[in-house]
C-alpha cells in the first residue's frame, strides 16, 4: 500500500509502512532469558510445573508470533463454506490506543477465533477512519502535514494492535484517506447524484468573524466562542451539499422489524427516523407572476389531500429570510412580526400545478420543520390560518356513511380511498422526481459539506454555462492537492491551490472551478464494511458476488455513541447499493453488540472544576484532598480520558500482567454491554490470574500422573470413582452447552468464563486415581483448554502442547497433532442429549441444600408433580412434614427445587 504522503503529493517525510517487529513495551520478548529462568515445554520438551511471571512471559513470547501468523493467513474465499463476518468499528488514527479500543477489539478477536474453531470461514478486518479535523488541527498547531500526522499515527497504532495479539485480517486493511479508497467514495457520490439524491442548498454554518472561517461544532466552546480566535461565533448561510436520506426513511424504518434484537438500538434508530406518515412536495416560487430560481420542498402530514392545499407556510427563521435568496427583501418587507403574514410570493405545486400563496407563520411547527403545506381539509390550524388571512380553499375529503373516507376534487385521484390516493399520489411524485418519499417531521437530510482540506473531495465542477457538472467516472479519483501551509484562517485550504481549483468543464470545455468543500467523514465510514469484502478491487467499489457472500456482517461491535448517526448512514448506503443491484442484502448488519464504557475515577477541584492528576492528590485520609491546598475533591466515575487524567495505558497493563490476563479481565469484568468501573474490578484481574495458575496446575497434575510409570487403566477405578468420572463427564457436557450458548447468543463472556472456572474447580477436586485412570478427566481437561483458547490463546496453546505430547493418552477423538486454535469447538456428546429415566433433583429449604430426590424424567419440568414427589419422599417427610410452606420455586434447567418455609 502506498503511503498517505506519496498519494496526496506532499513532500513531508512519512514513516515506512512495513512493520518492524513488535512494540518495545513488552521488552522481555526481545531479551535473552536469564539462566535462572527455566524454559517452557514448547522450547525444551520439559514441562514447567508452575505458571509464574517468568513462565507467563516465556509462554506469550513463544506463542505470540505463531498464533498471529496462523490466524492471519487467509486463503481465497471459498463460497461453498459457511462464513462469519465479525466487524468492530474501525478507529480514527489518533495515535494511541485506549482501554475502550482494547475492549471492543478483544471482543471481536475472541468471537473471530471462536467462529473459526466452529468451522466457519471468518474475516475480522481492520482499517482506519483516517480523514478528519484532528489531523488538520495538528497541521495548524504543529506544522505537520495531515498526511504525515495520519501516517505516523497509523504506524504506531498498528504496532500497538500487534502487541495485543489481535487476530485481524490485515490483508483486508483499508485507509479512507488513500485515493484507492476515496475514489470509490466519490463513485458512490456520483451514483447518488445521478439518482437525484444529492443536492445543494443554503444552510447555517458556524462562522468565525475574526479568522473568517467556518468552524466545526467541536471547535465552538461552551460559551459559543471560537476555540482559536476567541471571537463570538456567528451563524452564517452558505451553500452546502446534502444527501436526501429522507428518501429512504420509510424503507429503513420498516426494515427494522426484520432485524434481531439490538438491545434498545432499534428503538433509538426508530426514534431518530420518526413516524413516516407524511412527505414533501416540490414547489417553484413566483413573485409578481414571474418564476424565480427558488425551489422549495414543503412537508404535509396528509399527502393524499394535496389538491386541497390553500397556502404554503414558512417560519420567520427560514433561510429565505436570512440567506442569499433573491426573495429575501420581499419576504422581510412583507413580514409583520407577531402576526401570520400573507406575502405576494406564490408557490406552484409541481405535482398538481396549483398556485398558492406563501405565508410567514408565527406559529411554531413540529420538530425540525420550517416549511409546511397548509391543507385546511385535514388540519384545523391550517383552516384557521386560511380563514384569518382570507385564503379560499377546497374540501377534498368526503366521509361516507359507512365511515370510510375518500378524496374528492382531486383530479384523476377523485373517488379513491385516502389510502389508495396516498399511494398513487406519492408514487406519481416519486416518478417525476418532485418528492413523495414518505418520511417524518423530525428527520432531516444529511448535510455532508465540510469547509476542510483533510476529507474526500466532492467530485463536482461548477461551470458558468453548464451549471453543476459531475466529474466523469473515468477522471476519478479527484485527488487532494499538496497544500504546504495551514493557518486555520480564511477559506478552505483547497482555495489556495488555483492550479487544482481552476479546471475545464467536462461538457463544454470552458473555464470552470472545482468544488472546494470536502465530504463529512461519516460518508467514508458509511460503506467501509462493503469494501472489506473486496478491498483490492481497482475496477469497482467491490465485487457483488463477494459482497453477497460475506454480507451481511454477522456481528457488528462498537460504542453506543455511534448507535444513531453512523448506524443510520451505514444502513442508508446499504439500502441505496441494494437499489442499484450492487448487493442483494438491504441491511448491512445482522447482530449488533454495543459495548459499555470503561470508566475510572476522576478527581476535580470543587472551586474551579479542574481535573487533577493522581500525583496531585493526597489519599492518606478518609477521603481524597488536594495535595497543595487540602481542598476536598469531587470524585466521580467517568469515561477514561487523557484530559481528565483517569486513563489507563494498555501498554503498561500488558507489560505488567501479560496479554492473556488483560484479555480475560476485559471479558470477565462485566457483560459486554455494561460499563466497567476499573478500580472496583481490580479483584477481577487477580481472579483471572489465579484461575490461569489453577488450570495450569491441572495440566501439570495430569502430565505428572501419566509420566509416573503407572499405566492408565480405567478398569482400575472403583465404583465410587467411576461415578465421579461420570459426573465430570456430565459437567463437561453441561459446560460445553452453556458456554457455546453464551458465545453465540448474547456474547456473555463473563458468564462463559465463570462456567469454565466451575469446571476447573470440579477437576481440582478429583482424586489422584481419577486423574491417572479416567478418560473423562482427560477429556474434560482437554475440552477446557479448547474453550479457553479464543479468550486466552497463549496459555491455552502451551497447555495443549503439553497435553498433546503426554504419553499414554486415553482420548483419541481429539486432533492432538495440531495446535489448540485449530481444534474443532467441542460438541455435546450425543449420549448426554438422550433423556435419562430419572433426574436427580436437588432440594433446598430456605436456600440451604438438604439433599436430593430422584424424580421421573417426564415429571422433572412439572412444578406440581415435583412438589408432590418431594413431599412424599423420605427427605420430604423428614424435613418438610408439619411445616408451613410459604412458597416453592422449581428450576428445571438446574434440576433444583427450593422451598421457603416458615421458621
Phi, psi of 684 (to 5 degrees): -70, -35
> Taking 70 as the threshold, does the pLDDT of residue 25 lie above it?
no
Q: Say if residues 453 and 480 touch (Cβ distance below 8 Å).
A: yes
**Strand ranges of the sheet holding 213-215, from the earlier edge strand across to the other edge:** 213-215, 198-208, 234-243, 446-447
Q: Which residue has the cell 421421573?
A: 856
> Taking 50 as the threshold, does the pLDDT of residue 791 lie above it?
yes
- For 480-506, write each residue's pLDDT tens digit: 999 988 888 878 899 999 999 999 999
Q: Say if residues 781 and 763 touch (Cβ distance below 8 Å).
A: yes
pLDDT of residue 72: 56
Helix, strand counts (H, E) of the chain: 28, 33
- For 526-580, write each residue's pLDDT tens digit: 999 999 999 999 999 999 999 999 999 999 999 888 888 999 999 999 999 999 9
**What does the block give as the cell for 222?**
461552551
Q: Say if residues 502 and 472 touch (Cβ distance below 8 Å).
A: no
DSSP letter string, 196-256 = T-EEEEEEEEEEETTTTEEE-GGGB-TTSBBTTT-PBPEEEEEEEEEE-GGGGHHHHHHHG
Q: Is 300 helix (H, G, I), strand (E, B) or coil?
A: strand
> Taking 70 as the threshold, does the pLDDT of residue 690 lie above it?
yes
pLDDT of residue 167: 84
pLDDT band (50, 70, 90) for residue 679: low
pLDDT of residue 219: 74
Q: How many CB atoms lie within 10 A of CB 326?
A: 12
- For 187-219, write each residue's pLDDT tens digit: 999 999 999 999 999 988 888 888 777 887 767
Please give the helix or strand (H or E) that residue 285 lies within, else none: strand 279-287
The whole-number average pLDDT for the span 133-146 is 87
- For 269-325, write each residue's pLDDT tens digit: 999 999 999 999 999 999 999 999 899 999 999 999 999 999 999 999 999 999 889
pLDDT band (50, 70, 90) for residue 22: very low
Measure the CA angle with vertex 470, ends 182 and 189; round to 5°: 40
**What does the block give as the cell for 306?**
394535496
Q: Which residue has the cell 495440566?
A: 699
pLDDT band (50, 70, 90) for residue 849: very high
The whole-number average pLDDT for the span 132-136 is 87
> Taking 90 as the threshold, does the pLDDT of residue 145 lie above it?
yes
Q: How many CB atoms lie within 10 A of CB 346?
A: 18
Residue among 17, 36, 37 nearest 93 (CA)? 17
Give dist(CA 793, CA 113) in Å, integer. Answer: 9
- For 227-239, write each residue's pLDDT tens digit: 778 889 998 898 9
Q: Say if residues 31 and 168 touch (Cβ distance below 8 Å).
A: no
Distances (CA, A) of 735 to 257, 472, 638, 742, 788: 34, 60, 36, 10, 12
Contacts of 181 (CB under 8 A, 6+ apart): 174, 175, 524, 531
Q: Say if residues 515 and 450 touch (Cβ distance below 8 Å).
A: no
Distances (CA, A) of 266 to 86, 258, 525, 784: 20, 11, 20, 36
> Taking 50 as the threshold, does the pLDDT of residue 12 lie above it?
no
> Taking 90 as the threshold, does the pLDDT of residue 686 lie above it?
no
Q: Say if residues 857 and 767 touch (Cβ distance below 8 Å).
A: no
Give dist(CA 629, CA 181) in Å, integer. Answer: 54
pLDDT band (50, 70, 90) for residue 79: confident
Strand runs labelled E in 393-541: 397-399, 405-407, 446-447, 449-450, 460-463, 467-470, 502-504, 511-514, 518-519
Q: How many CB atoms lie within 10 A of CB 667?
A: 25
Q: Say if residues 759 and 784 touch (Cβ distance below 8 Å).
A: yes
Distances (CA, A) of 357 to 315, 345, 645, 684: 14, 6, 59, 69
Q: Say if residues 492 and 498 touch (Cβ distance below 8 Å).
A: no
Phi, psi of 281 (to 5 degrees): -120, 150
pLDDT of residue 833: 76
> Taking 70 as the threshold, does the pLDDT of residue 35 lie above it?
no
The whole-number average pLDDT for the span 811-824 is 94
- For 576-624, write each residue's pLDDT tens digit: 999 999 999 999 999 999 988 888 889 999 888 899 998 999 998 899 9
pLDDT of residue 75: 60
What's the longest Cα–Cα distance across the chain? 108
Q: Say if residues 279 and 437 touch (Cβ distance below 8 Å).
A: yes
The whole-number average pLDDT for the span 642-649 is 82
Residue 671 DSSP code: -
Contacts of 247 (CB under 8 A, 6+ apart): 197, 437, 439
- For 726-777, write each residue's pLDDT tens digit: 999 999 999 999 999 999 998 999 999 999 999 999 999 999 999 999 999 9
Distances (CA, A) of 791 to 110, 505, 660, 794: 5, 57, 7, 9
pLDDT of residue 71: 65
Peptide bond just before 477 cis, omega within 30 deg: yes
- For 59-78, write each residue's pLDDT tens digit: 999 999 888 766 655 567 78
pLDDT band (50, 70, 90) for residue 137: confident
pLDDT band (50, 70, 90) for residue 653: confident
Q: Say if residues 589 and 124 touch (Cβ distance below 8 Å).
A: no
Give dist(CA 38, CA 60) in Å, integer. Answer: 15
pLDDT of residue 218: 67
Q: How many CB atoms lie within 10 A of CB 113?
A: 23
Q: Say if residues 792 and 692 touch (Cβ distance below 8 Å).
A: yes
Measure the CA angle with vertex 692, ends 690 and 695; round to 5°: 110
In sequence order, what are the beta bridge partners of 374?
A: 311
pLDDT of residue 33: 35
pLDDT of residue 682: 66
pLDDT of residue 98: 86
735, with CB counted inside 10 A (0-12, 13-18, 19+), is buried
pLDDT band (50, 70, 90) for residue 36: very low
Contacts of 290 (CB under 8 A, 6+ apart): none
DSSP letter string, 596-643 = --EEEEEEEETTT--B--GGGEE-SSSS-EETTT--BEEEEEEE--TT
pLDDT of residue 31: 35
Crossing angle of helices 719-741/775-788, nearest 10°?
20
Instruction: Determine what percent of the chain is predicted with pLDDT higher than 70.
Output: 94
- For 440-485, write each residue's pLDDT tens digit: 999 999 999 988 899 999 999 999 999 999 999 999 999 999 998 8
> Taking 60 as the threshold, does the pLDDT of residue 681 lie above it?
no
Q: Which residue has the cell 502487541?
A: 163
- What's the distance, Cα to Cα, between the start and end of the chain in Å? 75
Mean pLDDT of the chain: 90
Q: Is 402 helix (H, G, I), strand (E, B) or coil?
A: coil
Amino acid at each position: 500500500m502506498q503511503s498517505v504522503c506519496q498519494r496526496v503529493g506532499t513532500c513531508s517525510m512519512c514513516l515506512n509502512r512495513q512493520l518492524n517487529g513488535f512494540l518495545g513495551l513488552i521488552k522481555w520478548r526481545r531479551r535473552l532469558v536469564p539462566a535462572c529462568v527455566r524454559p517452557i515445554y514448547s522450547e525444551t520438551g520439559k514441562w514447567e510445573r508452575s505458571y509464574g511471571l517468568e513462565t507467563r512471559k516465556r509462554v506469550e513470547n513463544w506463542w505470540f508470533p505463531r498464533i498471529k501468523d496462523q490466524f492471519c493467513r487467509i486463503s481465497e474465499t471459498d463460497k461453498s463454506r459457511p462464513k462469519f463476518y465479525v466487524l468492530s468499528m474501525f478507529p480514527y488514527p489518533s495515535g494511541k490506543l485506549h482501554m475502550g479500543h482494547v475492549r471492543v477489539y478483544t471482543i471481536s478477536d475472541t468471537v473471530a477465533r471462536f467462529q473459526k474453531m466452529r468451522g466457519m470461514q471468518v474475516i475480522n478486518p481492520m482499517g482506519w477512519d483516517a480523514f478528519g479535523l484532528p489531523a488538520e488541527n495538528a497541521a495548524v498547531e504543529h506544522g505537520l502535514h495531515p498526511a504525515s500526522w495520519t501516517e505516523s499515527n497509523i504506524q504506531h497504532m498498528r504496532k500497538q494492535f500487534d502487541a495485543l495479539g489481535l487476530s485481524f485480517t490485515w490483508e483486508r486493511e483499508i485507509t479512507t484517506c488513500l485515493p484507492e479508497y476515496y475514489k470509490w467514495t466519490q463513485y458512490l457520490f456520483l451514483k447518488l447524484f445521478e439518482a437525484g439524491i444529492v443536492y445543494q442548498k443554503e444552510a447555517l454554518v458556524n462562522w468565525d468573524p475574526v479568522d473568517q472561517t467556518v468552524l466545526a461544532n467541536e471547535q465552538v466552546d461552551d460559551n459559543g466562542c471560537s476555540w482559536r480566535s476567541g471571537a463570538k461565533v456567528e451563524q452564517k448561510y452558505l451553500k452546502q451539499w446534502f444527501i436526501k436520506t429522507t428518501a429512504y426513511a420509510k424503507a429503513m424504518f420498516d426494515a427494522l422489524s426484520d432485524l434481531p434484537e439490538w438491545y434498545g438500538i432499534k428503538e433509538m434508530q426508530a426514534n431518530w427516523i420518526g413516524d413516516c406518515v407524511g412527505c414533501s412536495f416540490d414547489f417553484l416560487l413566483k413573485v409578481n407572476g414571474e418564476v424565480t430560481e427558488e425551489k422549495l420542498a414543503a412537508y404535509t402530514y396528509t399527502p393524499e389531500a394535496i389538491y386541497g392545499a390553500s397556502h404554503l407556510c414558512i417560519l420567520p427563521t427560514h433561510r429565505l429570510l436570512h440567506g442569499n435568496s433573491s426573495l429575501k427583501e420581499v419576504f422581510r418587507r412583507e413580514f409583520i412580526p407577531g402576526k401570520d403574514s400573507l406575502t405576494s410570493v406564490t408557490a406552484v405545486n409541481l405535482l398538481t400545478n396549483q398556485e398558492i400563496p406563501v405565508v410567514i407563520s408565527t406559529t411554531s411547527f413540529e420538530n425540525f420543520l420550517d416549511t409546511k403545506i397548509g391543507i385546511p381539509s385535514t388540519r384545523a390550524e391550517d383552516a384557521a390560518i386560511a380563514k384569518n388571512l382570507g385564503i379560499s380553499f377546497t374540501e377534498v375529503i368526503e366521509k361516507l356513511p359507512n365511515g370510510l373516507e375518500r378524496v374528492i376534487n382531486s383530479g384523476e385521484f377523485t373517488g379513491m380511498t385516502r389510502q389508495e390516493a396516498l399511494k398513487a399520489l406519492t408514487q406519481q411524485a416519486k416518478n417525476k422526481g418532485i418528492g413523495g418519499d414518505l418520511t417524518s417531521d423530525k428527520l432531516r437530510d444529511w448535510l455532508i459539506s465540510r469547509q476542510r482540506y483533510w476529507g474526500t473531495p466532492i467530485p463536482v465542477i461548477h461551470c458558468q454555462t453548464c451549471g453543476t457538472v459531475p466529474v466523469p467516472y473515468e477522471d476519478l479519483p479527484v485527488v487532494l492537492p499538496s497544500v504546504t501551509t495551514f493557518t486555520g484562517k480564511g477559506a478552505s485550504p483547497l482555495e489556495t491551490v488555483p492550479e487544482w481549483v481552476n479546471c475545464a468543464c467536462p461538457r463544454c470545455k470552458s473555464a470552470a472551478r472545482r468544488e472546494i468543500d470536502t465530504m463529512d467523514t461519516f460518508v467514508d465510514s458509511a460503506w467501509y464494511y462493503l469494501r472489506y469484502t473486496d478491498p483490492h478491487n481497482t475496477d469497482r467499489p467491490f465485487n457483488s458476488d463477494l459482497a453477497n457472500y460475506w454480507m451481511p456482517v454477522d456481528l457488528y461491535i462498537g460504542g453506543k455513541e455511534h448507535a444513531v448517526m453512523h448506524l443510520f448512514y451505514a444502513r442508508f448506503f446499504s439500502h441505496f447499493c441494494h437499489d442499484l443491484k450492487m448487493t442483494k442484502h438491504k441491511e448491512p448488519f445482522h447482530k449488533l453488540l454495543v459495548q459499555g464504557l470503561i470508566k475510572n475515577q476522576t478527581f476535580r477541584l470543587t472551586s474551579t472544576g479542574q481535573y487533577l492528576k493522581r500525583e496531585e492528590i493526597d489519599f492518606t485520609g478518609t477521603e481524597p484532598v488536594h495535595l497543595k491546598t487540602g481542598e476536598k475533591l469531587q470524585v466521580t466515575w467517568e469515561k477514561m480520558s487523557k484530559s481528565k487524567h483517569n486513563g489507563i495505558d494498555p501498554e503498561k497493563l500488558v507489560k505488567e500482567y501479560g496479554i492473556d490476563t488483560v484479555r480475560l479481565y476485559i471479558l470477565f469484568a462485566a457483560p459486554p454491554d455494561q460499563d466497567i468501573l476499573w478500580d472496583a474490578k481490580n479483584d477481577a484481574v487477580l481472579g483471572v490470574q489465579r484461575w490461569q495458575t489453577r488450570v495450569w496446575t491441572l495440566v501439570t497434575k495430569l502430565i505428572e500422573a501419566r509420566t509416573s510409570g503407572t499405566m492408565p487403566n480405567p478398569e482400575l477405578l472403583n465404583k465410587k470413582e467411576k461415578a465421579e468420572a461420570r459426573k465430570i463427564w456430565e459437567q463437561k457436557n453441561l459446560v460445553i452447552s452453556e458456554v457455546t450458548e453464551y458465545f453465540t447468543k448474547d456474547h456473555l463472556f463473563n458468564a462463559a468464563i465463570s462456567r469454565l472456572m466451575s469446571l476447573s474447580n470440579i477437576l481440582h477436586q478429583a482424586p489422584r486415581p481419577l486423574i491417572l485412570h479416567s478418560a473423562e478427566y482427560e477429556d474434560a481437561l482437554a475440552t477446557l483448554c479448547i474453550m479457553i483458547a479464543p479468550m486466552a490463546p497463549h496459555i491455552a496453546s502451551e497447555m495443549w502442547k503439553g497435553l498433546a505430547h503426554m504419553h499414554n493418552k486415553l482420548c483419541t477423538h481429539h486432533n492432538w497433532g495440531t495446535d489448540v486454535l485449530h481444534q474443532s469447538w467441542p460438541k455435546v456428546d450425543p449420549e448426554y442429549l438422550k433423556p435419562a429415566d430419572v433426574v436427580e433433583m436437588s432440594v433446598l429449604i430456605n436456600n440451604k441444600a438438604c439433599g436430593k430426590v430422584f424424580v421421573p424424567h417426564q415429571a422433572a419440568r412439572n412444578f406440581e408433580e415435583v412438589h408432590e414427589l418431594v413431599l412424599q419422599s423420605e427427605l420430604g417427610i423428614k424435613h418438610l412434614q408439619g411445616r408451613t410452606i410459604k412458597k416453592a420455586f422449581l428450576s428445571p434447567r438446574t434440576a433444583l427445587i427450593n422451598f421457603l418455609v416458615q421458621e
